[in-house]
């Protein structure tokens, strides 16, 4: 018991003790008045009246003390409720507990908190003293039996309503709900937050009339004011929690997206600090996020052996995108090729607050391009574009008419007496010229054999209807280019070094080898015959036989003219009959 409660209790006890003493005095005075009356004497009436008035004063004083004590208790409980409500985030539970206290303090039978839904405008029963918490989805048929007329009037007017005898109250006497629900005492006060009515607090008693007074009204108004603020704060907290949960979900989603994106993403704020560093960036640069996020981008890039400061400054100064490719030696990874795209990092107002850097590891593309370039030194560009077709050609091969050309670009006996490395350099010089001539004429290099090269025309990869003519053109082009090389080298070979022969006929073309290692080539008697023709050709001559001449005469484009000089037939291994041969020159 508090000191104030103990003082009030002692005061009431003293008042009642004084009342008992007055009763004793009054009895004594009555006895004295009767004794005087017998002796035909009279006691002044004022004495008895004054004692009676004093007793009435004591009664009123005791009642006032009790009233004050009740009001003090109510205010004390209201203060405790206010503290609990304003300090709690579980607003429904606290409001339920405090509503039960309100019921006790006001001697109400039931109590409810009714709120207006901000989205639908409908009334929702949130708190019930007789049934616990109520969800907003409660059907109208399940709602408590209270006077909605009272509730709607308080919401519409914003003024509290107190009816100490609802049946006799002119405002409510014709209200059907008052009659049907046998309501006696009704007290309803508005919940007001920032001049907006958000709901009501409603209490009633169906049995006793006049149970609510101005004191209960003031108590309920004070409670409603605190509850309205607490409900609003709880609503804002709940919305903040929902927003935070949504933001957290979005952030987690974005983190998952950033983490799963194959490109490295680095976000840099206006202070040049790394804000975002995803998994791909960590793998590309071989840096863990914890040594990148929150650190100066220049330091992070230095740790990765990259120099990007100038590029970052360019994006910030010009407020525009910037792309580049670079090759760098990264710690832990070695030589890599990176494609970088830098963009201004803007907010919803199109204000730049940093730079976004997107990087892709293109090392494999760089290696692929290097391989393609190497292949282009062996195959024509158009042939390289058909690389997939080469892979899809069956291992068994395909029978096809082709023209096969063999060229000895510089016979061994013509090479000077120099070191082997120098001999190799000279041979590569001649082979390079021969390769370019083959490609320019639409042929493909089948293989290199030291100082010799084999070329094919009209394979599946380079179909040419006038392939014999294009092989002839290739041989003549080699002659022209070799003459230019002789002049550059200051030599005048007589006869010329090259020995070129070719044959037109059917051959089997396809991949040979295994699925792990294969090679596209041509096989058959036609290929062997082309080799025999080249072996029997004279130095400095381009030699063909009748089959190639026949194909040329039937399919040439007529734009170029050639001179075919007959020579002795060619005999060789596997040839029972000599073949009519011709040496080819450009027509004057």
| Per-residue pLDDT, 111 | 87
Range 464-469, long-range pairs (CB < 8 A, 24+ positions): 465/555, 466/552, 466/555, 466/556, 466/557, 467/401, 467/402, 467/403, 467/504, 467/551, 467/555, 468/403, 468/502, 468/504, 468/548, 468/549, 468/551, 468/552, 468/555, 469/552, 469/555, 469/556, 469/557, 469/560
| Per-residue pLDDT, 167 | 46
pLDDT digits (tens, 9 = 90+) for 510-553: 776 555 556 677 888 999 999 999 999 999 999 999 999 999 99
φ/ψ of residue 417, rounded to 5: -80, 80
| Per-residue pLDDT, 124 | 84
CB neighbours of residue 421 within 10 Å: 7
Residue from 544, 528, 399 nearest 469 by CA = 544
| Per-residue pLDDT, 333 | 73
Residue from 405, 503, 499 nearest 454 by CA = 405
Q: Which residues are CB-neighbours of 581 under 8 A, at least 6 positions away?
A: 533, 536, 543, 544, 545, 566, 567, 568, 569, 570
Is the separation of the CB atoms in 325 and 365 below 8 Å?
Answer: no
Tell me how long the chain is: 588
Q: Is the pTM of this model over 0.85?
A: no
| Per-residue pLDDT, 382 | 53
Is the four-CA dihedral 160, 166, 172, 176 of positive or negative sign? positive
Task: Name 110's bridge partners.
Answer: 204
DSSP letters, 347-370, are: -TT--EEEEEEEEEE-HHHHHHHH
CB neighbours of residue 141 within 10 Å: 5
CB neighbours of residue 262 within 10 Å: 10
**What is d(CA 252, CA 232) in angstroms, rounded to the nearest whole number?**
29
Is the separation of the CB atoms in 451 and 409 below 8 Å?
Answer: yes
Residue 59 Cα distances to 16, 30, 70, 210, angstroms? 9, 21, 16, 22
Is the separation of the CB atoms in 342 and 312 below 8 Å?
Answer: yes
Residue from 568, 563, 561 nearest 538 by CA = 568
In a 3-state reduction of DSSP, which class is residue 454? strand
Rounded to the nearest 10 degrees, what angle do helices 91-106 and 214-260 cross at?
A: 170
CA angle 538, 474, 482 (to 5 degrees): 60
- Low-confidence residues of the chain, pLDDT below 70? 1-16, 58, 62-91, 94, 131-143, 164-183, 254-261, 304, 365-396, 512-519, 572-576, 588
Q: Classify burial at 528, counting beta carbons within 10 Å of its beta carbon; exposed 0-12, middle 13-18, buried 19 or more.
A: middle
């Amino acid at each position: 018991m508090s000191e104030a409660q103990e003082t009030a209790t002692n005061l009431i006890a003293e008042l009642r003790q004084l009342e008992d003493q007055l009763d004793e005095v009054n009895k004594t005075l009555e006895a004295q008045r009767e004794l005087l009356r017998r002796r035909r004497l009279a006691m002044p009436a004022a004495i008895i009246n004054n004692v009676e008035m004093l007793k009435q004063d004591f009664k009123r004083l005791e009642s006032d003390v009790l009233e004050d004590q009740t009001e003090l208790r109510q205010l004390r409980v209201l203060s405790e409720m206010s503290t609990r409500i304003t300090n709690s985030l579980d607003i429904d539970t606290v409001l339920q507990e405090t509503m039960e206290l309100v019921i006790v303090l006001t001697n109400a039978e039931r109590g409810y908190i009714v709120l207006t839904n901000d989205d639908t405008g409908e009334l929702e029963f949130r708190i019930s003293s007789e049934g616990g918490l109520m969800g907003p989805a409660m059907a109208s048929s399940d709602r408590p039996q209270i006077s909605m007329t009272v509730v709607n009037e308080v919401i519409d007017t914003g003024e509290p309503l107190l009816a100490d005898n609802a049946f006799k109250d002119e405002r409510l006497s014709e209200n059907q709900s008052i009659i049907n629900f046998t309501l006696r005492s009704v007290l309803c006060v508005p919940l007001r937050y920032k001049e907006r009515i958000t709901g009501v607090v409603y209490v009633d008693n169906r049995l006793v009339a006049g149970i609510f007074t101005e004191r209960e009204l003031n108590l309920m108004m004070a409670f409603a004011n605190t509850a309205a603020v607490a409900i609003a704060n709880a609503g804002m907290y709940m919305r903040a929690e929902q927003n935070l949960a949504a933001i957290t979900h979005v952030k987690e989603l974005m983190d998952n997206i950033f983490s799963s994106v194959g490109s490295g993403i680095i976000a840099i704020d206006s202070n040049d600090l790394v804000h975002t560093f995803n998994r791909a960036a960590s793998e590309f640069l071989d840096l863990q996020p914890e040594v990148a996020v929150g650190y100066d981008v220049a330091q992070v890039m230095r740790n990765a052996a990259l120099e990007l400061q100038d590029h970052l400054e360019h994006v910030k100064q010009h407020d525009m995108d910037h792309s580049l490719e670079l090759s760098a030696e990264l710690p832990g990874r070695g030589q890599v090729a990176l494609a970088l795209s830098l963009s201004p990092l803007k907010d919803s107002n199109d204000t730049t607050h940093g730079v976004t850097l997107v990087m892709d590891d293109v090392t494999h593309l760089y290696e692929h391009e290097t391989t393609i370039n190497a292949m282009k030194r062996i195959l024509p560009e158009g042939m390289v574009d058909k690389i997939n077709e080469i892979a899809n050609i069956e291992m068994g091969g395909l029978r096809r008419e082709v023209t096969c050309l063999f060229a000895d670009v510089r016979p061994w006996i013509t090479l000077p007496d120099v070191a082997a490395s120098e001999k190799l350099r000279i041979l590569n010089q001649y082979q390079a010229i021969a390769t370019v001539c083959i490609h320019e004429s639409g042929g493909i290099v089948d293989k290199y054999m030291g100082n010799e090269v084999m070329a094919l025309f009209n394979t599946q990869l380079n179909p040419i209807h006038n392939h014999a003519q294009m092989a002839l053109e290739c041989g003549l082009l080699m002659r022209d280019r070799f003459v230019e090389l002789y002049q550059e080298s200051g030599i005048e070979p007589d006869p010329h070094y090259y020995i070129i022969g070719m044959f037109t006929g059917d051959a089997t073309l396809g991949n040979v080898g295994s699925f792990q290692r294969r090679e596209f080539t041509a096989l058959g008697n036609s290929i062997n015959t082309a080799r025999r023709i080249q072996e029997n050709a004279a130095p400095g001559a381009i030699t063909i036989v009748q089959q190639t001449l026949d194909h040329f005469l039937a399919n040439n484009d007529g734009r170029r003219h050639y001179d075919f000089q007959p020579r002795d037939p060619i005999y060789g291994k596997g040839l029972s009959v000599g073949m009519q041969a011709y040496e080819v020159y450009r027509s004057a």
